Amino acid sequence: MSQLTGFPAKMEFTPIPNFFLSTILPRINDISELKTTLHVLAALYRKRGYPRFVTYRELLGSAGLMSSLRGAAKPPDEVLRKSLEMATKRGTIIHLALDRDGVPEDVYLLNTESDRQIMAKIQNGELKLSGLKAAGKTYIEAEEQPDIFTLYEQNVGMLTPMIAEELSEAEKLYPEVWIRDAIKEAVSLNKRSIRYIVRILERWSAEGKSDGTYQRVSKTGPDKYIKQKYGHMVRR
């Protein structure tokens, strides 16, 4: 094996969760599982839009990953499948079996609270993935208007798992149109952060929306705000 001359002067970096380095990595004993997990993390990071997921077919088409899995007693595709099963069993990723035009498609997401909620929504038909459908569900084309997660990423910044959780929490508390308008207001003021968007929503919840169109609007009535995370901001 020839020795590398070093890293290039210009290169891209892929963030790795600290929890993976401190808690998951020490428990991985299989090198194929480690290689596959790192490739999944990198693939998910490079994804755009919402939700972020990677398919078995995409991983199978990764020349770098498949090359690294060669040399084992089994063919690389079998090693990949086994490695994904190990990572799923460990709890690093979550697996969802879907259907693409009658052909099974294995989808993988990071095992975070927000992604577990996404998986549940996909399974019960609340959320659709382009070209994919859950068993027994009919795929319906999504509306052209982007969802709040895509809207955030297109106008504010990168959608990290923590930000996705913040938006998911806001979605439970406020009408979607409020969230869209809060994102637009934050962008217009050049305050591009999730915290500023949340503060706008909290202010509207407490004082009413300035245009008067959505004064005290709630998905289930004002009591919802009283019982939720930002209930102390609401005036009855």
> What would the pLDDT profile of 9-42 be if each residue is shown by its tens digit?
888 888 888 989 999 999 999 999 999 999 999 9
Q: How far apart are CA 124 and CA 54, in angstroms?
A: 20
Q: Hey, what's the torsion of the CAs at 144, 146, 147, 151, to 10 degrees?
A: -170
Beta bridge partners of 54: 108
Q: Is the pLDDT of residue 100 over 50?
A: yes
Q: How far apart are CA 92 and CA 16, in angstroms?
A: 13
Q: Is the pLDDT of residue 49 over 70?
A: yes
Query: Quick check: helix, strand or coil at residue 195?
Result: helix
pTM for this model (two decimals) = 0.55
Report pLDDT digits (tens) over 141-150: 334 457 888 8
For residue 90, what are the contacts with CB-CB under 8 A and spacing of at least 6? 24, 27, 28, 33
- Asked if the structure places residue 118 within a domain, the reply is no
State the pLDDT at residue 131: 66
153 pLDDT tier (thresholds 50, 70, 90): confident
Query: Quick check: helix, strand or coil at residue 171?
Result: helix
| Count of domains observed in the chain | 2
Dihedral sign (CA 130, 125, 178, 142):
positive
Beta bridge partners of 107: 55, 96
Beta bridge partners of 55: 107
Beta bridge partners of 133: 99
Q: Do 163 and 229 lie in a common domain?
A: yes
CATH code of the domain covering residue 211: 1.10.10.630
Q: Return the residue matching tokens 């990572």.
A: 87
For residue 181, what are the contacts with CB-CB under 8 A and spacing of at least 6? 209
- Asked if the structure places residue 136 within a domain, the reply is no
Residue 148's closest CA among 125, 172, 131, 117? 172
- Asked if the structure places residue 133 within a domain, the reply is no
- Asked if the structure places residue 119 within a domain, the reply is no
- Which of 4-13, 132-141, 167-176 has the weakest average pLDDT? 132-141
Q: Which domain holds residue 187?
A: 148-233
Mean pLDDT score of the chain: 81
Q: Is the pLDDT of residue 109 over 70?
A: yes
Mean pLDDT of 146-156: 85
